[in-house]
Amino acid sequence: MIPRLAKLGPMAPTTLVVVTVLLSCGSPAAEKGTLVQGEYLLLNHLDRIEAPSTWTIKVPSLEIGQDMRRALPMHPPFEARFSAVPAHEGGRLALAPALNPAAYDKPTDGVVFEVRCRDAAGDWIELLELELAPRQRPQDRGWQDREVSLAVCSRPTTEVLLRTTCGPLGDCKADWALWGEPSASVERDLKMRPSKFAVLISVDTLRPDRLRLYGGPRDNSPNLERVAADGIVFETAIAPSPWTIPSHATLLTSRDPRVHRADAHRAIAPGVATLADVLSTAGWQTAAFVDSPYLSSEFGFDRGFEHFDYRPAPPSNYRHGARAVLERVIDWLESADERPAFIFWHIMDAHAPYGAPAPHGGRFRASLDAADRSESPQLRHLEEVGFHDHLRLDRYASFDELLASYDEGLAHVDGVVGRLFDLLQATGRWNDSTIVVTSDHGESFLDEDIYVGHGLFLTDAELRIPLLLKLPRNRGAGTRPLRIAGAIDIAPTLLNVLGVATPPQFEGRSLLGGMDGRRDALLFGYSNNIGASFVRSQQQMYVTEATVPPEVIRERHLRAAPPVKLPLAEVLAERLETTDGSDLSSESLETLGALRRILMEHRTSLESEADSSEEPIVPSLSDEELDRLRSLGYVGSDG
């Protein structure tokens, strides 16, 4: 045991959100940078932890009281030490101890949480001692936010000890002690050296009509609205596929899914150029930060990036989270040189299972009235379909609660990306930066009375995506073009803005030409999970009949057994529909024939473009990564 020394009481509880960007602007090329206050997440640095060799590190995401956080579980008595934790005169350590709710009513006398650091002499200083006994004290239930000063610790780094012990009677066998997202504040003298800066942000599973920005029901997008106010909002943007790999590959290659060929079993085809390839050749420094094994180098997503940051998720989790990845984005910006810089940032926090940490976790669910919380037939239906296991439905009393939980996740993402926007403004780079925010696909919320999720059907719920574009000097600010836009157009648009020539093999076109509409605009796409294709114009959409039988979709992808009724026939049949919900005109059959011919011609042209002589690159994910993907509801491991 470590002897107790000087004791400092905890400071007032505070919300865990501590990343802010402060202080004055300055010339990007100035020797002295902008002082930036950020955060150092201890769970981002598990390589610096010292603990008994018998301990298995786990970092699950746990929702307690509708507040979801990553946590480090420690069964008491236990202690672990983190080395090289940043400490400065105004330094703070924020953390949220908690006990597993499963132990709240068990016979136990609670757990004592202790936090210590090393001082300049190498001695231990006690920063916090907190006893939680939720069986006796209901106020001890939930995350207990605390913030303590690191001013008494050694500098510029210190060693931090986290210790858990049983309560006074020594009986805590049933307790799992949790350290929720411990983080230290950091100071950076950040110099934004790049002569130009562009960032492409893809928020996985972001359905636009849930954002207030796109008419959604809740105040969950104030930071994205900053981009919208200074930029362009495309009202109708369409993904080429309802799931992650094909859509992101199209986003970065401007090629149809059947040309780049990337899916769960193949990487981006050899010889297919990426946006990063083009920018690197043009002299740009390029960096990517992704939070899913489906976007790793195994699938070719590292091509063209000087710096590619994918790290397998920590044990017992499926993602690092946007806060953790943002720390690495800022680390890279700190080391960037004067060359123009492009960042691709992929965010997984809107993906199921839904939820968010404070201050957004539970925020919208708390505002629901009693009727919205009553048990709903929709929720009972979800419970009967095996696909939905990953949603953790036992957290919800109604379908409205599930929707509110998703919206809370969007608010959390909005808050994190807002910190990057704050940094750009604080360093004087906002006005000359190019910012794109989009997604790879949407999310079905029983729109077809079948499921909650994505990866299967060619419907607006799964294909429609947000698209925000902020140009240098805020050109076009506040405009909302009605023209249809495709994810396939984003790479050519970025190259146009950045003054780099677009390769002739890119299939998309810059969205900056003819902002008021493009009469001949047609978008194409494909769902490999059901074997159907689509072609979409501004007014209409034609979808081919699915080639995968309904029983395969029911059993393999949805894991639904009779007597569960799923109206698959309509969504899998050949169909023509208007994109604004209006009735089809009397010329519908003629239109159907024309769109069918266009789609067949397009398919023939794709077959001639795809170079079948080149052997596909077959990715090799670990069993652990595959298990994590299945736990996210990726249908048949292909969604």
User: Quick one: pLDDT band at residue 107, thresholds 50, 70, 90?
Assistant: confident
Cα–Cα distance between 621 and 616 in angstroms, integer? 16
Cβ-based neighbours of 113, under 8 Å, separated by 6 or more: 97, 128, 129, 130, 131, 132, 162, 163, 164, 177, 179
Cα–Cα distance between 100 and 102 in angstroms, integer? 5
Cα–Cα distance between 138 and 126 in angstroms, integer? 26
**387 three-state secondary structure:** helix
Q: Containing H/E element for 3?
A: none
Q: Containing H/E element for 180?
A: strand 177-190
Q: Where are the beta strands (DSSP E) in 333-428?
A: 341-347
Cβ-based neighbours of 191, under 8 Å, separated by 6 or more: 28, 30, 31, 32, 33, 34, 334
Q: How many CB atoms lie within 10 A of CB 504?
A: 6
The pTM score is 0.92
pLDDT higher than threshold 80 for residue 170: no
Helix ranges (DSSP H) in 54-194: none
Choose among 249, 243, 621: nearest CA to 457. 243
Confidence (pLDDT) at 31: 55
Confidence (pLDDT) at 586: 63
Cβ-based neighbours of 121, under 8 Å, separated by 6 or more: none
**Mean pLDDT over residues 490-514, rounded?**
94
What letter represents residue 516's amino acid? D
Between 617 and 357, residue with greater pLDDT: 357
Long-range contact set of residues 271-274: C-beta below 8 Å, sequence gap at least 24? 271/611, 271/614, 272/505, 273/304, 273/503, 273/505, 273/506, 274/303, 274/304
User: Quick one: pLDDT band at residue 178, thresholds 50, 70, 90?
Assistant: very high
Confidence (pLDDT) at 21: 35
Question: Position of tokens 């249908």?
Answer: 635
Between 412 and 167, residue with greater pLDDT: 412
Confidence (pLDDT) at 13: 32
What letter represents residue 538's amino acid? Q
Confidence (pLDDT) at 490: 98
Q: Where are the beta strands (DSSP E) in 193-333?
A: 197-203, 232-233, 236-238, 285-290, 307-310
Question: Model confidence over 184-210: pLDDT tens digits?
Answer: 999 988 899 999 999 999 999 999 999
Pick from 23-37, 217-231, 404-418, 492-506: least confident: 23-37
Half-sphere exposure of residue 610: CA atoms within 13 angstroms, side-chain side: 19
Cα–Cα distance between 119 and 150 in angstroms, integer? 9
Question: Model confidence over 310-319: pLDDT tens digits?
Answer: 999 998 999 9
Question: Model confidence over 571-615: pLDDT tens digits?
Answer: 999 999 988 777 776 667 777 888 999 999 998 888 777 655 566
Q: What are the backbone dihedrals phi and psi of residue 89, each rounded to the nearest 5 degrees, phi first?
A: -55, -40
Confidence (pLDDT) at 624: 78
Cα–Cα distance between 441 and 241 in angstroms, integer? 7
**Mean pLDDT over residues 213-227, rounded?**
97
Share of the chain above pLDDT 90, in %: 75
**263 three-state secondary structure:** strand
Confidence (pLDDT) at 19: 33
Confidence (pLDDT) at 520: 57
Q: Containing H/E element for 186?
A: strand 177-190
